[in-house]
Structure 1
């Protein structure tokens, strides 16, 4: 799963696919659940380590598996994560005051720390302990072993939600998902939002304007997410 690119919703969709009868009896939206309260604790279709992934890909059996990955513009994804993890969650809970490496709402401090940790991981292949921030802010191209397995995946883009939802519906139809399940997914996606949405937050504009106005910070983020821009063909932001 790719954090801050509908990953929570995607896990719920896997729960729906895994046992639709039980899921539908709950009469809930796929956008309703949050992180630690997923409908199914570990949906089998979510491959959370390389051994599982390579086993499914390389050893054929009587089942056919499909692999897809949703990607998001790197700066948009960073801002969404910062607003969710470093602002919203810290405002809601005093227990999360040290979240985001203790930077508080200081976006410059946080960018510098994420960049520092990413460089360590890039240079050594090792980072301990791995933190929530690492999973949410490291490059998307570093996830799911895409450097070796990208050709196995169908890639979807978060850029335009209307197009994304339509593309997912076409994909689910193609791989044989029943219409009544596809209809539920489309209804829930178009009529409900997850609790951690950030696109309509008034703070989003404030932090985005600050970030985009600081060329040094923007250059650091572009360097951090350079492989995302290349691998997924995103347009580089103008820095001049």
Structure 2
């Protein structure tokens, strides 16, 4: 199995899932939880690659139908953006990380306008230096060579309550790939019963900024322009009026 890890789309938990499956015995013996992957990755440089081509070359994976699955957790673009903003901007600013988030402080309008400009510059190859914020706010379709590899992917939709939508899809894929029942139960326990330490779901800040964004036609227009192809590719509804 190959999983495309995308920031703010359960990246920490999926990193843990794939690391666990890489060496279940060693992972369980370590006493780690998937959330520990946020600070120190147990499988760093062991089962990680920077491109799909590198994975294909390493394991000689054909471009025709094989026993391999390529998967990616996708997330509603508005929900993902707000989660990223609260995590990378609001929380870090409270820790006096004043250089974060385009220097905009808690001004979400300023951040969105500047990040849109950055995305346009990168898109037209006028800027190549990328920040940690860019990694969290890049369109999902910009990840994992989707422009060339999309037909090989299985897209699993994120849900704040993993039991609603995400886990049934993921469990189905794991079963098809013949992952043992005990291993699936271990993964389910991590995903359903343990919350990532940098999750923003259900927090007052997430509710506040989400409400502010969806009530602003001006800001929503920027979000739609930034993530238009995420909406289309992953079948998420555009905001009313767009």
TM-score, normalization: structure 2?
Answer: 0.89
Counterpart selection for 1:14 from 8, 14, 18: 18
Choose which of 189, 193, 209 in structure 2 pairs with 1:207: 209
Deviation at 1:59, TM superposition (A): 4.7
Report how far residue 196 of structure 1 moved: 0.6
2:72 corresponding residue in structure 1: 69
1:108 positional shift: 0.5
Number of the residue aligned with 1:2: 6
Provide the C-alpha distance between the structure 2 equivalents of 1:195 and 1:239, rounded to a whole number of angstroms: 35
* Ranges in structure 2 where 5+ consecutive residues have no aligned partner: none
Match of 2:116 in 1: 115
> Of the candidates 25, 42, 45, which is equivalent to residue 45 of structure 2?
42
Map Cα deviations across residues 200-221 of structure 1 (whole Å, 9 max, x no partner). 2111121112111211110110
Aligned 1:23-172 pairs, distance under 5 A:
23-30=27-34, 32-44=35-47, 46-55=48-57, 59-60=61-62, 64-91=67-94, 93-94=95-96, 96-124=97-125, 127-159=127-159, 161-162=162-163, 163-172=165-174
Does structure 2 retain, via aligned residues, the 8 Å contact 1:84–1:196? yes
Once the 2 structures are TM-superposed, how far is the Cα of residue 56 of structure 1 from its aligned partner?
5.6
Decide whether the 8 Å contact of 1:80 with 1:198 is kept in 2.
yes
How far 1:227 moved relative to its partner? 0.7
Correspondence for 2:219: 217
CA distance in 2, matches of 1:59, 1:72: 27
Q: Any idea what the Cα deviations from partners look like across 1:83-141, whole Å, max 9, x if unmatched?
A: 111011322x33x22111111111111101110011111222x5331111111101101
TM-superposed deviation, 1:27: 2.1
> Are the equivalent residues in 2 in contact too, given 1:90–1:97 (CA < 8 A)?
yes
CA deviation after TM superposition for structure 1 residue 147, in Å: 1.4
Task: Count residues in correspondence.
Answer: 234
Residue 73 of structure 2: SS of its match in structure 1? strand
Judge conservation of contact 2:214–2:220 (CA < 8 Å) in 1. yes
2:182 equivalent among 161, 180, 183: 180
Q: Secondary structure at the match of 2:101?
A: coil
1:234 aligns with 236
SS in 2 for 1:154: strand
Instruction: Work out the CA distance in 2 between the residues paired with 1:116 and 1:215.
Output: 18
Q: Give structure 1 stretches of 5+ with no counterpart.
A: none
